[in-house]
Amino acid sequence: MSRRDGRANDEPRGLELSPGFHRLAEGSCLARAGGTVVLCTASIDESVPKFLEGKGVGWLTAEYQMHPRANPQRREARDGRGKAPSGRTQEIQRLIGRALRAAFDLDALGARTLAVDCDVLEADGGTRTTSVTGGFVAAALAVAKLTRDGRLDRPVIRDQVAAISVGHVRGELMLDLAYDEDSGARVDLNLVATRLGSIVEVQGTAEGVAVPRADVDRMIDLGLQGVSLLAARQAEALAGAGVALDALVVPRA
């Protein structure tokens, strides 16, 4: 079976990361993965949420928003306008926040907040994973700026983090699903992991019929392989923007 765009089953979509696309944010990245486009901005705020006040530690929070024309048909109402964002939106932005918090040492960040906005301009599957992958680049740029400005006294980046989806589609395992692949998948698994293969978050859901344990194992294997490829692209993009990741990362004990 071949994929619509000619990719091999274990091949992620082309990923273009454009650091600095947004000029006001401390860090930003326009991430294009196939037909999916996400504008990620990372903003620094010199305060922390109530529950952290006075503790001297930092916070990272994320927001996820679909542009009304992110899909082939325009959505009549902007999600969350005049009412609460949908359950899906909230679930996704909570995931992005958790994923990126794993990448940064919030103690080392100090009493400030990194707010990462992921605005999906065009959607063709994998918007949450592309948000994590692009969001990491935006946040790393913001941290690099803090470092350049002499406002950090020790490394803040703990791990390079990226995300990818894996699906069980018509009897085959496929990496980095496009929208039409995703909607036909029997199982859909999203994996957030570090460059070296440790797991930050795994979410796998069988649509309809439960899946054997062995299938889940193979999906995680494939996902880790994909994250490793994406992480290389992140490092290249940051290097292109003058940021050497290694210098920013917390040395391992």
User: Does 252 help bind its own copies (rule: CB under 8 A)?
Assistant: no
Show the CA angle centred on residue 57, arms to residues 52 and 59, nearest 5°. 70
Residues binding its own copies: what is the number (CB under 8 A)?
66
* Tokens describing residue 253: 């004990």
Q: Tell me which residue of 111, 131, 103 sits closest to 30, measured CA to CA.
A: 131
Nearer to its own copies, 1 or 157 (CB): 157
x/- map, 112-151, its own copies, by CB under 8 A: ---x-x-x-xx-----------------------------
The number of residues making up the chain comes to 253
**Rounded Cα–Cα distance for residues 58 and 247 (Å):** 21
Q: Return left, alpha or beta for 68; rule: phi > 0 is left, psi -120 to 50 is alpha, else beta.
A: alpha
* Tokens describing residue 229: 């490829």
- What kind and span of H or E run contains 224? helix 213-240
Nearer to its own copies, 224 or 235 (CB): 224
x/- map, 211-250, its own copies, by CB under 8 A: xxx--xx--x---x--------------------------
DSSP string, 106-139: HHHH-S-EEEEEEEEEE-SS-HHHHHHHHHHHHH
x/- map, 149-178, its own copies, by CB under 8 A: ---------xx-x-----------------
User: Does 91 help bind its own copies (rule: CB under 8 A)?
Assistant: yes
Three-state DSSP at 24 gives coil
Closest distance to its own copies from the beta carbon of 178 (Å): 14
Closest distance to its own copies from the beta carbon of 214 (Å): 10
Q: Which residues bind its own copies (CB under 8 A)?
A: 22-25, 35, 37, 39, 41, 43, 45, 63, 65, 67-74, 78, 80-85, 87-88, 90-91, 93-94, 98, 101-102, 115, 117, 119, 121-122, 158-159, 161, 193-194, 197-206, 208-213, 216-217, 220, 224
